[in-house]
Amino acid sequence: MDVLLLSRLQFALTITFHYLYPPLSIGLGLLLVVVEGLWLKTKNPLYHQMARFWTKVFALTFAIGVATGIVMEFEFGTNWATYSRYVGDVFGSALAAEGIFAFFLESGFLAVLLFGWDKVGPRLHFFATCMVALGAHFSAIWIVVANSWMQTPAGFHIVGEGLAARAEITDFWAMVFNPSSMNRLSHTVVGAWQAGAWLMISVGGWYLLHRRHRDFALASVKIGLGLAAVAALLSLVTGDASARGVARNQPAKLAAFEGLWQTVPQAPLHLFGWVDKAHGRTHGPEVTGLLSWLAYGDSGRPVTGLEAIRPADRPPVNASFQLFHLMVGVGCLLIGLAVWAEIASWRGRLEQSRLLLWLLTLSVLGPQIANQAGWWAAEIGRQPWIVYGLLRTSDALSKVVTANQVAASMVMFIIVYLLLFAVFVFLLNDKIRHGPDDGDLQPTGKWALGFKAKGGAK
Amino acid sequence: MNFGSLDLHTVWFALVGILFAGYVILDGFDLGVGMLHLLVVRRDEERRVFLNAIGPVWDGNEVWLVTGGGALFAAFPMVYATVFSGFYLAFMALLCALIFRAVAIEFRSKHPSPRWRACWDAGFASGSFVSTLLIGVAMGNLAWGVPLDARGEFAGSFLGLLHPYALLMGATTVALFAMHGAIYLVLKTEGELQAAVRRWVNPLIIAFILCYVILTLATLLYVPHITEAFRREPWFFAVAVAVVLAIANIPREVSHGREFLAFLSSCGAMAGLMAIFGIGMFPNLVFCQTEPSYSLTAFNASSSEKTLGIMLTIALLGIPVVLAYSASIYWIFRGKVKLDRMSY
């Protein structure tokens, strides 16, 4: 295998593994704010117990997120040196902002969140929890802005020629608010909320299925569902906005997502199907005019097909198509599940359907599959470009790194990540089987004082 | 923000240096604690005290490396690209070691089996040791100089990075971080455990000073471009003397029981060492040993003035806030380690 393929595989492997964790941190971070806020407001010790339990799960996901995140930062330089030189002036400032505004905030206050229960009062602890959640969200902002700049570059000019060409920033805010960044950011963040929310629901559902920790489980499912339902619907809204942006800014990518070959008015939308690249056709059930309507709000307007794009500039069509459809399909299933569970919960029948509880238990996989498929679709759909329309992926490699070196590091990552994943699953399983501590229903230390003083005053 | 005639290249050379110095000082003691973890104590509870001494802060400390790397990418993309791709295998090994260290800290105490804990203890110690050694070797190579071609690409090999001067810098870094970690542990422990740690302080100081003297001699003899910088500005020798005085001060403070001052002395010494490194290198970020005019400097390898200005605005907005809450967090977790049920 050549360096290009190996480097792309290694990046795909490391980013896919990394991306299992930050969405969980973002989603769970927000839920920790909700649960701890409820505890401070209602003084119901159940929420204290929940905050304690979910903090432990949060710590687990955060640890692997940080450890695998450093890899990503290094890899731009190690494997994609030409790319780094090309985009450093633009991309680097977003990455530096991420470090200064997001990572310090997140990791600094995480110390208080994890170890500060008995050292600081409840209000300061709650503040720390809010800062951790805020930091997690900030980290999404900067990296998605940087990635969106690669999709729809703006606010820059090119200096130098040939191998020495590079992008230089001309307008910082135009770079930050490039045409796709806000749509993609909102879509990514609500996807992350779903990841956290469905994890909480899934654990609660599993307890209900096994008739354990009933109060804790019901509260977890209900709070999780509140966020999951909102986030699932917002995923649809933000996804729609995002896709309309792709239609405007990256026509080749949209054509690949939808397997559209001819530029026609009344462009059809395939519900699912298979792209026959050799014959330039897509097989499967289609709804005529729906794609035109979704892309432009006008079913008569033509949508650019792949045939209008030079073969050398087309992304891998079938992979883009399948991954995009997988994301949309799983997203729709999650909306359905959220609605079903909300209705059951509202009518007090959550525990009566074992099928529903089973589906809720398995639901944790849904957002992970959709988030990963979405990222793969977004990145594969941008090919053959690493910076859309400006720099080809094949030109972006490190010139001095050999295939053997990448193969060696790839083997190392596979071994280390398999080990990490096994340890993560083992410990998560351990925590879930152990369940919430009943001791946490009687808060101690400063938490107990706050509790009694407030209770006594009333 | 408009910074007028301020030389942004020099400012960012200094700022990247400060970020990496912050990393070395802060994560230096975490890595030092890791290296001493297997050597100084045997009992599970004592090892947990070691882990929890750095428990609340190591994560934030590692962020200095992440931010330093990000700042290098943004301010000096040519340097970032050349060094990271040129030192490919070394950086992959560093990543592996840092991952093991991080994960070992998190996971060691999450399961009670002695075998589980012994495995992660080994991961914590070896991850810390390898990270430290590789950081030192990388710095040694930057000081010694690496072969570059006319386009600023690395033109050497992995084995070529393991020459005696770089290894000497690696050994010095190991001794320095171990010394720094031991002093930090004196600050965070009490009773018998503290006595056990204290026995390690003086030998580690001696080991470091030995390495430091040899390294300095080697630098004066074999690394002319750094010696040159000191010859131009002789007052820089004052920094070197201050470092020695700060280190000599450590045993005095420890024996008087002023543990915090001992730790501050150690931090000060490390800041001084990083300053010497920066002064010796300036304006080079990567010195080209084959053809000095190919060297990557703060002036020929930087981003545009506009980006440097934007980033300085970001840094001026962000860094004071970061320093304020980082200091508060250190304040919250001050004092001796007490194990509780949230501990590692």
Q: Does A262 touch chain B (CB under 8 A)?
A: no
Widest pairwise Cα distance in chain A = 78
Question: Tens digits of per-residue pLDDT, A65-107?
Answer: 888 888 988 999 899 988 988 998 888 778 878 888 888 888 8
For chain B, positions 215-274, list CB contacts with chain A under 8 A.
Answer: none
For chain B, positions 158-177, list CB contacts with chain A under 8 A.
Answer: 158
| Interchain proximity B80–A416, CB inside 8 Å | no
Q: Does A414 touch chain B (CB under 8 A)?
A: no
At residue B175, φ and ψ (nearest 5 deg) are -65, -40
Distance from CA of A97 to the nearest CA of B (A): 7
- pLDDT band, residue A449 (cuts 50/70/90): very low
- Taking CA–CA distances from A132, the nearest residue in chain B reads B60
Q: For residue B228, what pLDDT is reported?
A: 83
Q: Does B69 touch chain A (CB under 8 A)?
A: yes
How far apart are alpha carbons A110 and A116 in whole angstroms? 9
Task: Evaluate the CA torsion angle B179, B184, B187, B191 in order and state its sign.
Answer: negative
- pLDDT band, residue A17 (cuts 50/70/90): very high
Q: Please state, rounded to an integer, the average pLDDT across all residues of chain A.
A: 87
| Interchain proximity A77–B73, CB inside 8 Å | yes
Contacts (Cβ under 8 Å, ≥6 apart) of A201: A220, A221, A224, A225, A228, A341, A360, A363, A364
Q: For residue A129, what pLDDT is reported?
A: 93
Q: Does B276 touch chain A (CB under 8 A)?
A: no
Distance from CA of A48 to the nearest CA of B (A): 14
Q: For residue A358, what pLDDT is reported?
A: 92
Nearest to A113 by CA among A168, A150, A58: A58
Strand partners, B297: B284
Q: Is residue B224 part of a domain?
A: yes
Contacts of B338 in chain A (CB under 8 A): none
Distance from CA of B200 to the nearest CA of A (A): 28
Q: For residue A458, what pLDDT is reported?
A: 30
Using the predicted structure, report yes or no on whether residue B140 has a pLDDT greater than 60.
yes
Q: Which domain holds residue B182?
A: 8-332
> Among A288-292, A325-329, B81-85, B241-245, whose mean pLDDT is lowest?
A288-292
| Interchain proximity B303–A92, CB inside 8 Å | yes
Q: Is residue B342 part of a domain?
A: no
B337-342 long-range contacts, CB within 8 A, separation 24+: B337/B49, B337/B52, B337/B53, B337/B188, B337/B189, B339/B45, B339/B48, B339/B49, B339/B52, B340/A118, B342/A114, B342/A115, B342/A117, B342/A118
The residue of A53, A66, A440 whose CB has the most chain B CBs within 10 angstroms, and thus the best one to mutate to test that interface, is A66
Q: Please state, rounded to an integer, the average pLDDT across all residues of chain B.
A: 87
Helix B224-232 / helix B191-222 crossing angle, nearest 10 deg: 90
Using the predicted structure, report yes or no on whether residue A400 has a pLDDT greater than 70.
yes
Host H or E run for residue A156 = strand A156-159
| Interchain proximity A163–B151, CB inside 8 Å | yes
- Whether omega for the bond prior to residue B77 falls within 30 degrees of 0, making it cis, is no
Q: For residue A446, what pLDDT is reported?
A: 57
Contacts of B340 in chain A (CB under 8 A): 118
Q: For residue A396, what pLDDT is reported?
A: 86
Nearest to A260 by CA among A290, A230, A240, A237: A290
Most confident of A33-37, B67-71, B226-230, B316-320: A33-37
At residue B163, φ and ψ (nearest 5 deg) are -85, 165
Residues A232-248, mean pLDDT to the nearest whole number: 89
Contacts (Cβ under 8 Å, ≥6 apart) of A322: none
| Interchain proximity A105–B314, CB inside 8 Å | no
| Interchain proximity A107–B332, CB inside 8 Å | no
Contacts (Cβ under 8 Å, ≥6 apart) of A221: A200, A201, A204, A205, A208, A341, A345, A350, A360
Q: What's the start-to-end Cα distance of chain A, in Å?
A: 72
Q: For residue A20, what pLDDT is reported?
A: 93
The shortest CB-CB distance from B95 to any of A70, A90, A166 is to A70
Please check whether residue A276 is in contact with residue A343, taking contact to mean a CB–CB distance below 8 angstroms: no
Using the predicted structure, report yes or no on whether residue B31 has a pLDDT greater than 90.
yes
Host H or E run for residue B283 = none
The shortest CB-CB distance from B111 to any of A77, A90, A430 is to A430
DSSP string, B19-78: HHHHHHHHHHHHHHHHHHHHHH--SHHHHHHHHHHHTTTHHHHHHHHHHHHHHHHHH-HH
- Written as six digits, the tokens of B204 are 């580690």
For chain A, positions 85-144, list CB contacts with chain B under 8 A.
Answer: 85, 87-93, 95-101, 103-105, 107-112, 114-120, 131
Please check whether residue B298 is in contact with residue B13, taking contact to mean a CB–CB distance below 8 angstroms: yes
| Interchain proximity B66–A100, CB inside 8 Å | no
- pLDDT band, residue A452 (cuts 50/70/90): very low
Most confident of B135-139, B155-159, B237-241: B135-139
Q: For residue A453, what pLDDT is reported?
A: 40
| Interchain proximity A71–B99, CB inside 8 Å | yes
The shortest CB-CB distance from A63 to any of B73, B82, B102 is to B102
Q: For residue A374, what pLDDT is reported?
A: 94
| Interchain proximity A100–B110, CB inside 8 Å | no
More confident of the two residues A277 and A383 = A383
Please check whether residue A330 is in contact with residue A377, taking contact to mean a CB–CB distance below 8 angstroms: no
| Number of domains making up chain B | 1
Contacts of A109 in chain B (CB under 8 A): 325, 329
Contacts (Cβ under 8 Å, ≥6 apart) of A81: A397, A398, A399, A400, A401, B81, B82, B84, B85, B153
Q: For residue B224, what pLDDT is reported?
A: 85
Q: Is residue B95 part of a domain?
A: yes
Q: Does B303 touch chain A (CB under 8 A)?
A: yes
Residues A259-266, mean pLDDT to the nearest whole number: 84
Please check whether residue B336 is in contact with residue B325, taking contact to mean a CB–CB distance below 8 angstroms: no
- pLDDT band, residue A445 (cuts 50/70/90): low
Distance from CA of B59 to the nearest CA of A (A): 6
Q: For residue A402, what pLDDT is reported?
A: 86
DSSP character for B339?
-
For chain B, positions 27-46, list CB contacts with chain A under 8 A.
Answer: none
| Interchain proximity B306–A85, CB inside 8 Å | no
How far apart are alpha carbons A21 and A247 in whole angstroms? 30
Type of residue at B102: A
> Among A134-143, A261-270, B195-204, whose mean pLDDT is lowest?
A261-270
The shortest CB-CB distance from A85 to any of B56, B81, B322 is to B81
- pLDDT band, residue B337 (cuts 50/70/90): confident
Q: Does B62 touch chain A (CB under 8 A)?
A: yes
Quote ipTM for the complex. Answer: 0.84
Q: Is residue B1 part of a domain?
A: no
The pTM assigned to this predicted structure is 0.88
Residues B97-118, mean pLDDT to the nearest whole number: 85
Q: For residue A448, what pLDDT is reported?
A: 54
Type of residue at B97: A
Residues in chain B: 344
- pLDDT band, residue A456 (cuts 50/70/90): very low
Buried b (16+ CB within 10 A) or exposed e, B128-161: bbbbbbbbbbbbbbbbbbbbbeeebbbbbeeeeb
Question: Tens digits of per-residue pLDDT, B224-240?
Answer: 888 888 788 777 788 88
Q: Does A4 touch chain B (CB under 8 A)?
A: no
Q: Is residue B285 part of a domain?
A: yes
Contacts (Cβ under 8 Å, ≥6 apart) of A348: none
- pLDDT band, residue A199 (cuts 50/70/90): very high
Question: Tens digits of per-residue pLDDT, B170-188?
Answer: 999 999 999 999 999 998 8
Contacts of B111 in chain A (CB under 8 A): 427, 430
Residues A20-45, mean pLDDT to the nearest whole number: 92
Question: Tens digits of per-residue pLDDT, B45-69?
Answer: 888 888 888 888 888 888 888 888 8
| Interchain proximity B81–A84, CB inside 8 Å | yes
Q: Is residue B341 part of a domain?
A: no
Q: Does B282 touch chain A (CB under 8 A)?
A: no
Contacts of A72 in chain B (CB under 8 A): none
Q: Is residue B340 part of a domain?
A: no
Contacts of B332 in chain A (CB under 8 A): 111-112, 116, 119-120
- pLDDT band, residue A339 (cuts 50/70/90): very high
Using the predicted structure, report yes or no on whether residue A231 has a pLDDT greater than 50.
yes
